[in-house]
Structure 1
Amino acid sequence: MAPFAYHKAPEKTAARTLPQGWQTFGDIGHVDAEGYLYLTDRLDDMILSGGVNLYPQEIEAAIREVPGVWDCAVVGIADEDFGERPVAFVVAERNAADDLLDAVRRHCAQRLGRFKQPHAIHALDSLPRSPTGKLLRRRLRELIPR
């Protein structure tokens, strides 16, 4: 048995164990020229849209630049034409402008390539989080109108 195992999920443990015995945990990152490791995102959170890998953290970083945004999250939703498309959820600061979602849309159009722009933007009072504060992206996907 591997040193790390998912509770009652041997198939998931096997999928994350390489032939040499090393285990992966789904983190995506890179090492720069000076040897510093940067975590970019989680493999499970990556959005595959039209054959392009989109990282929610990149889109979220752009959204957080908009004045009045308190918190945000991006998830992928199924799309017939592209495989998946990004959808954003935004939590406004108190006294944020009434047109905050339009401001987010305009900012994303200026800051991100068209394929990275959220297909839809939804306002929430708060983002669903676990008791430890981890964002629950699966709960966000359940909130998307079908």
Structure 2
Amino acid sequence: MRSSCFALFLLSGPAAAWEFTPYPICTLFHQGAEMAVAVTYDARVPEYKIRLSREEGWPDGPVFALRFEGARNLTISTDRHMIDPQDTRNLVVRDRGFGNVLNGLQFNTRAVASIGGLDIPVSLVGAAPTVRAFRACPLDNLVEAHLR
């Protein structure tokens, strides 16, 4: 299933904008020139996840960093990233808090993913409105779940 979702992202071609979907879980998605970015939040867990996908795969490295460039420059890094050894196209980071990631996406113009000497940029132009919708999504989903 994981590979088929990745294939759908890659086959869809470059998207003109950042996209937001509230259901079944909060999802922010963008297909950049060199990688796809998917940020999700599942209020039932609760957990945030960012998945960076690229056809060429990711090299192994002890630290993964995201550098945000623009109005609010910021670099965040972690050693808790995961790259599936059987499918190195996906790099995933999970956490219960993603404030710095969301701030970086919303208030900057470019992000650069770095690991093992590889730097992959993605444009953040147009991301701000969808990040705002994404930030409101957990509340919307919790209200919707309560009404069911």
TM-score tier after normalising by the smaller chain length: under 0.3
Query: Larger Rg: 1 or 2?
Result: 1
Higher relative contact order (CA closer than 8 Å, sequence separation 6+): 2
- Normalized per residue, which structure has more strand? 2
